[in-house]
Amino acid sequence: MANPNVQIRFAQKEDLQAIRQLVVELAIYEKEPDAVKAQFADYQRAYEDGLISMLVAEIEDDIVGMTLFYDTFSTWRGKMLYLEDFVVSEKYRSQNIGSQLFDATLQVAKDRNCTMMKWQVLDWNTGATKFYENKGATIEKQWWNGKIIF
């Protein structure tokens, strides 16, 4: 059931500070409080360059949640949407806002003619895993992440 107090909309440049703050909140929740190295200027450049898109959940002009995503390509499936971050501020959780944001992001992927949407979830985050599975997602456990940090 949709929360009638929530408006989901595409983010604007003036929303970037609130979005970055939600990313910091997410990092703290994920037990990585010092992991966010991207500065506000990095968010501005990425937004201006069209590298990222975001949806925000707003209640009475306050941004209480967001998804940050971008188009990419799967050599196996074709065009896909990668959901980089998805967070609802802690005091607004369990109010169906996350469900509305996630569903709106899925619709963006469909509107962009993507063949799938992909994201990561931490193995210990059973609440998130259950949320995604309830949405019909497959949670892959055989693939390991690789990265090199510069």
| Residue 58 belongs to domain with CATH number | 3.40.630.30
Provide the whole-model pTM.
Answer: 0.93
> Using one digit for the tens of pLDDT, what is the confidence trace for 86-116?
999 999 999 999 999 999 999 999 999 999 9
Domain annotation covers residue 146: no
**Rounded CA gap, 51 and 36, in Å?**
18
Number of domains in the chain: 1
**Residues of the chain under the 50 pLDDT cut:** none
Domain that holds residue 79: 7-134
Identify the pLDDT of residue 2.
Answer: 77
Identify the pLDDT of residue 102.
Answer: 97
Identify the pLDDT of residue 143.
Answer: 84
Dump the DSSP string for 40-93: HHHHHHHHHTT--EEEEEEETTEEEEEEEEEEEEETTTEEEEEEEEEEE-GGGT
Q: Considering the chain, what percentage of its residues have pLDDT values greater than 70? A: 100
The residue among 104, 125, 6 whose CA lies nearest residue 55 is 104
Residues known to be catalytic: 132
Domain annotation covers residue 65: yes
Domain annotation covers residue 139: no
